[in-house]
Amino acid sequence: MTGYASAQRELEQGVLAVELRAVNHRFLDATLRLPEEFRALEGAIREKLAGRLSRGKVECRVNFNARAGGQSSLRLNNALVAELLRLSDELREHQPGAGELKTGELLRWPGVIESDALPIEQLQATALELLDTALDDFLASRGREGEKLADILRERASSMEDLVKGVQPLIPQIVADYQARLTQRLVDALGAGADDERIRQEVVVFAQKVDIQEEIDRLLTHITELRRILKAGGSAGKRLDFLMQELNREANTLGSKSVSSETSKVSMELKVLIEQMREQVQNIE
């Protein structure tokens, strides 16, 4: 989700530029830095950003550097000044205590100072065009970054698959060894024979609780889904983020049900890989 792009254009009135900066964020959070002349574009800019971006803490900055000597000298709007002074005199007739309008107050009144106005509408339209150009470059750059991240995720997924498939053939023997150990403990505790019905029932129940075949199946299913999402492309960050949660849940369950050093080791290695993937997924839109 990190990225930078800019676009600028030299105009008769000066240089207009649009910059985009983004860092990782779970949702779209747009901050706009606009000169006063471009405040009216805030809604249109936010709409464009939301239409093409879904995640990231994005800063959009519009800069306009007017050309030196490009504007004429300032002048007073004499008609407006006269009207303000008339209203001030009228007010004092009704409220004798009211003070006169001061020069500074008059000069700050909107419209009192005039100049040859910049073609604001034309500049605003150009700014939106530049935003489209910057967004094109921004998304192209992030697309290239996304391909690199997808390769990293595929590599981690292959490592996870090797771990899971490596432990899968060991499950029957792990369960059998656990049954044997549990049977001996129950024989020693109850003073009964290994063929006692109560012992057989307890062994079967506990053996089912430590059987990790379901977790193995779900892990392989999630890995397959991960590859499918990466192959499909498009906006996949939220789906991958959810998938990381599911993978982590299965890895934790695998560890909690483990009765052998092999499965405990696999659980830990899976969680390390999943955490590495989770960090990368935060960078994907």
Per-residue pLDDT of the chain (285 residues; tens, 9 = 90+): 578 999 999 988 889 999 999 987 778 899 999 988 899 999 999 999 999 988 789 999 999 988 765 555 567 888 888 888 888 888 888 887 777 778 888 888 877 776 555 678 889 999 999 999 999 999 888 888 888 888 999 999 999 999 999 988 888 888 777 778 777 777 776 665 656 666 667 666 676 677 788 899 999 999 999 999 988 877 777 889 899 999 999 999 988 888 888 889 999 999 999 999 998 887 676
Tell me, what's the pLDDT at 118? 65
Tell me, what's the pLDDT at 18? 96
Residue 63: CB partners within 8 Å, gap ≥ 6? 15, 16, 17, 18, 19, 35
Q: Residue 57 corresponds to which amino acid? A: K
Q: Which helix (H) or strand (E) holds 161?
A: helix 120-167
pTM comes to 0.59
Tell me, what's the pLDDT at 281? 84
Tokens found for residue 181: 């150990």
DSSP string, 89-105: HHHHHH-TTPPPPPHHH
Tell me, what's the pLDDT at 199? 64
